[in-house]
Structures are given as structure tokens and as C-alpha cells.
Chain A
């Protein structure tokens, strides 16, 4: 356990100097020996890549997979650059750990452009460490070696598998990113090919784990009924009837986050803030969903938002009738409008105020372990999220 902590601290320390991407051996003396020992044990070349002595290559995918295929695509970039054979690669979802992985979120279709350079830097540095290891083992110049098909191959034809080199590779100095060179895209053998989603087998077997599938022994289930208007609060509910329903263990009112509606609350905090409502705790999902469907709540909406879609539409129509301000002017619009051969089209467009629907019903699992005299309290959280770590 101490070793794990040491390794994490070590990686965190290096992340400060390199943007959370590179593993750099910058420690000295006893600390270096300990960190290196841990690294050798794990055969970990950097935060993204592990190679076992039997040749299995594990690549961690740090960006949330939501069906966009990023859990397959980012590891492909690493595997390509390190010279791995895709068949040897197993992809695992990385833990949320911004010290190791930087920003862990996906949005705006930007994950590939945002991560391409760092992924190939990871792959190239792993490759250089494997080549360094082979150069040492074969006592040849590293310029005479190339990494391909999960092997390092010498000009003479002599070759060593990545697995055989793994233990030696983690002892190699981590290359300075500025010294790395990258594959010519014309030589790509993985990028640009259709490899299939790494989770496909698990999905078709019903074994892929989604947020809602997390199961902790003896866990309880809760459902929450929020006030239909933002900023409202629950005054009372049919508590006796709810508590008498099968499988219900507890039911209670929660006040909204006290900062709701205040200008001091940021937009993102506002999205995440607790809304006033009634919580029901029970033995299983159905018990609490069933009870929620039978809730009768008296709401206090006196301080709640009065925004409504019909009113927004009316306001939009009113504003559309007023003269607008000039935002941008590229061409002489008046002349074009005055040209008799041009046709003027007029339309009023509106777009519904719709929610960004989730992949799975909103859910979250929390496992709280109370602290003792010798250990700190611990809370582990599983949540299907587009932005699990903000870096």
C-alpha cells in the first residue's frame, strides 16, 4: 500500500512539471530507488501503458466513453506510436486521477484533436524505453533497432518481444518529449483501420458495466423527487403512507442548496446544486421508484423560478419585432435586398428548450467507509459522467 502511495506521489510530482502527461524520473536518492522499485514491479512505462512479462499490453483510456468510441480511438494512437500489435492490447478505463491524466472529460467532439499529441507522445516514449532496453540487452546501437508488432527488431533480424523487455524498459530513463520523433502517417498500421469497439464483446454478452450496474454488498437504494420548479422547497408529504410501502426504509425532506438563486453561485455549481425535494430510501430500486410514484408533496414555490416556455416564446416574438443591433457586417446587405432580381425569404425560427438526454437514467453510487483512529474516512463514488475529472 505504501508503494502505491509513493508511486502516486511520485507521478503527481512529475505531473507538475509536465502537464500531467509525462513520467519523469526527477527524484534522487532513496525516493528514486523506492519509486523505481515500484515501477519495475508494475512494469508500467507511463501512466497510460503497462506491459506484462508475458507480453500483454494494457493501455488506459482516460476519456469517458459514451458511445463515441474514444475508449478505442485513444489507445489506438498510443499502440500505433509504440509499435504494438493491436491484438496484444487490452484497454481499461482509467480511474479518475487528474494528477496522472489531466482533464478527464469529453465534449464538443474535441477528444481526438485535444489528445492526439499527448497520446502519441505516450506511445513514442514507451517505444523509446523499449528500444533503450533492447539496445542494452543486445549491446547494439539504438539507431539499429525498430519497434514493430510488439517486438523490438535489430537490423540483423534478431528480435525481442515487448514482454521480454518490459522489466528492463521501466528502468530506462524517460525520454525528454522534445527529443521524440513520430511515425510518418503513411506508415500507420492501426490508425485509419477499422478495429471494432474494445467493449463490443462485453456489450453483446451483457457484461459491460454501466453506472447503474454498480453493486456494493448490502447497499441501499434511494430515489429523489425534486421540486418541479427550480428553487422551490418541500413543505410536507404523505410520509406515513410512503413509509408503509413495501421495501421503504426511510423518507425525508431535503432543503435546497442555500446558495441556489444567488449570483455568487457559478453556472456549473448551479447545475450540480441540490434542489429541494423528498428522498426515499429503500431495499431495492423498485421499492423506491414505486414509492416515488405515490408521493404527494406540498411544495412551497414562492421563491421558485417562474420561467416558462410559453412566456419565453412570447418574449422571443416581441424581441424579434424590435430593431436589432448590428453584430457583423461583411457585404452591402441593403444593396442585395434592393436588387429586384433577388428574392427575400422571411421566417421565424424557434428551437425547443430541451434537456441533453443522458445515455442511461441518471444515477450515482456512493460507498462511505467511516474513519477509525488509524485510517481516514473514505468515500468512493461511481457515476456515469461526461466530466468525471476537471483536471
Chain B
């Protein structure tokens, strides 16, 4: 067991863990941040996506010893009581179905938009290709993000694959 210092959603945490325990289980079982989901455990479905230093990573395969930088989870995406524009867009366009994969979908999309505010359809397809939805809500492949002045509006193009 080793001691690790983590910054999660702006808060400092000290935790002890085996070095190879994936970050996902530190978040879910130790810090009780249940918004990040366990799907496949082998980085194939994207449900466990969080940000480290702003980049999207699959927390189910990232050992705690490999974490270097501040972590943001779905619980930390809204700031100062304000929803992230993607969260507002998700509600406005009634995107979620069962919702299980949505934290991962939103975190992947937010990481992409942070570095690429005007993505093309191809950019979106690439960024979202690793996020799957069980209830065939394959909106990610057809989703289009359009930046209008300050607001980012997601134009949901629902596509049943």
C-alpha cells in the first residue's frame, strides 16, 4: 500500500492504495464519486472517462500510480453553480436515455471542445469513437457542435445504428 495525493474537482485528497489499482475504483469506492461509471473495465466502452490535466482518459485502466495532474470528473464539470454548456445542451436536446454512458460521453465531448471549439463532423467522430451506448443512442457519431457567439449548442442528430 502506498499513499497518493490527488486533486479531484479542485479538492485535495490523500488516499492509500495498491499502486496498480485503477483510478476508477479510487474515485468510486474510496472517494464515493459514483458519477464516473464502470462499464467494461478494459478501456473499450468509455463509460469511465474523466479528465486529467484537461485530457480525456479511461480511468478503468489507469493505475493510481500513473496519475499525474488534477482530475476532473462529471461531478466537477459544472462550476460555480453553472452547468457546462454541453450539460445545458444535453438537457435542452433531451439527449440521455438510460444515462449510464452519459458521464463518459459528456467528458469526452468536453475534452475535445476545450482544444477544438469548432470541430468538424470528422473531429467529433474521432473524439467520440471510443464511447458506446447500450440503448443504441448512437448520437455521438452524428452529433454536431456549433459554436454560436459564446454559447455552444449541440445539434442532436439522433441516429439509430
Contact = CB atoms under 8 A, between A and B. Distances in A.
Contact of B25 (A208, A209, A285, A359): A285
Contacts of A197: 94, 96
Interface size class of A (residues with CB under 8 A): 35 or more
A360 interface: yes
Interface residues of B, number: 41
Interface of A is mostly: loop
Interface string A190-209: 00001011011111111111
A387 interface: no
Query: What is the predominant secondary structure among interface residues of chain B facing chain A?
Result: loop
Contacts of A213: 34
Nearest to A66: B98
A289 B75 contact: no
B98 A65 contact: yes
Contacts of A346: none
Given A67-B135, A286-B21, A359-B135, A206 B36 contact: yes
A305 to B, nearest CB: 27
Contact of B22 (A65, A215, A286): A286
B25 A200 contact: no
Contacts of A67: 96-99, 134-135, 137
B7 interface: no
B78 interface: yes
B37 interface: yes
A5 B134 CA distance: 40
A206 B99 CA distance: 9
A377 interface: no
A285 B75 CA distance: 21
A207 B98 contact: no
Nearest to A211: B100
Contacts of B32: 215
B96 A199 contact: yes
Interface in B54-113: 73-75, 77-78, 83, 86-87, 90-91, 94-100, 102-103, 106
21 contacts: A67-B96, A67-B98, A68-B97, A69-B97, A196-B94, A199-B96, A204-B87, A204-B96, A204-B102, A205-B35, A205-B77, A205-B78, A206-B75, A208-B99, A284-B25, A284-B29, A286-B21, A286-B29, A359-B98, A359-B100, A359-B135
Given A67-B137, A194-B94, A204-B74, 5 more contacts: A66-B135, A69-B97, A215-B32, A284-B25, A361-B39
